[in-house]
Amino acid sequence: MNSPPRRIRIGTRGSALARWQAEYVAATLRAVPGTPDPELILIKTEGDRIQDVPLSQVQGKAFFTKEIEESLLQNHVDLAVHSLKDLATEMPSGLTLGAVMEREDPRDALLFSQAQEPVHTPDDVPRGAKVGTSSLRRRALLARWRPDLQLAELRGNVPTRIRKLDEGEYDAIILAAAGVKRLDLAHRISAYLPFETFLPAVSQGAIGVQMRAADADVAEWVGKLEHSQTRAATTAERALLRMLEGGCQVPVGAFAEVENSRLRVRGVVCSLDGTRAVDGEISGSVEDAEKLGVALAEKLLRQGGGEILDEIRGESSER
């Protein structure tokens, strides 16, 4: 009979936010009786190494996860902790999403330099302000909402981005509220971007715990971390993105939530210049999360989202 392992190796990126998330998973696992002692293994990804190229121009979809997934498949780590929005909707064979943890605040947040006058709502952003973001979705929705703003590329981890803001490189930046809050920096948030005009990235705010599909012991421990409502919501969002993405980064926003025992799913596809957008929503049984995401994607495609995405893919292939 095999003796149980003495430790469980958790693969993670080395950024402050990634380590916070991995430590959070480790602390939660320690509270599960019989779980081996967790140990963090830091892994540098392509996304960490390439900091001078816009994310939209980096080849491939798994540049924040590929090396970690390879470590899982090679049995160098036992599980991996990801911001679920970074995890491709199609996983390598042999890997599975063992748990989706309860979601933090899914909204996008506006941050201003501490030297700036206070801004309390998104509409208070000064005309012509220079706003930093690395996301195609955020750039497109910003152009749709406020075409007067200057959009500038922003790379680096959360503390680095805030430092660049305070050094005057930008008038404002947009970050995921969840990451800012997890690093105890919520006091830096000036305003939250409302869902009515600014749907978040798919799975934003959720932590995904990835593992080998055949690892029964790890599945038993990791299963204790599962949050069923967040799983249903992110399943629908990821199904929507899978239908729309087609191997290319696209400006798609989505948010699903359980309301009165039903799952409401919202989505948007926006052109890069913000001049055209298709919005939609659908509701149904929580058990049909995957089908709802697919159905909403098909609806968006029929209503003009397909033409927008074809144009974006054509521009991408020409670069």
Q: Active-site residues: which are they?
A: 86
Who contacts 238 (Cβ-Cβ below 8 Å, separation ≥6)? Answer: 89, 202, 203, 293
219/175 Cα distance (integer angstroms): 32
Q: Half-sphere exposure of residue 297, counting CA atoms within 13 Å on the CB side?
A: 20
3-state secondary structure of 297: helix
Alpha carbons 10 and 68: distance in angstroms, whole number = 10
Cα distances from 248 to residues 205, 243, 245, in angstroms, run 22, 11, 6
Give the whole-angstrom CA distance, residue 191 versus residue 109. Answer: 6
Q: What CA–CA distances, in Å, run from 215 to 34, 98, 278?
A: 16, 10, 42
Residue whose token pair is 């089908």: 291
Residue type, 275: T
Residues 248, 319 contacting (CB under 8 angstroms): no
Do residues 157 and 17 lie in contact, with contact meaning Cβ atoms separated by under 8 Å? yes
The b-or-e profile of 261-287 (16+ CB within 10 A means b, else e) is eebbbbbbbbbbebebbbbbebebebe
- Cα distances from 2 to residues 6, 144, 154, 216, 217, in angstroms, run 12, 59, 49, 13, 12
**Contact present, 248 and 312 (Cβ < 8 Å):** yes
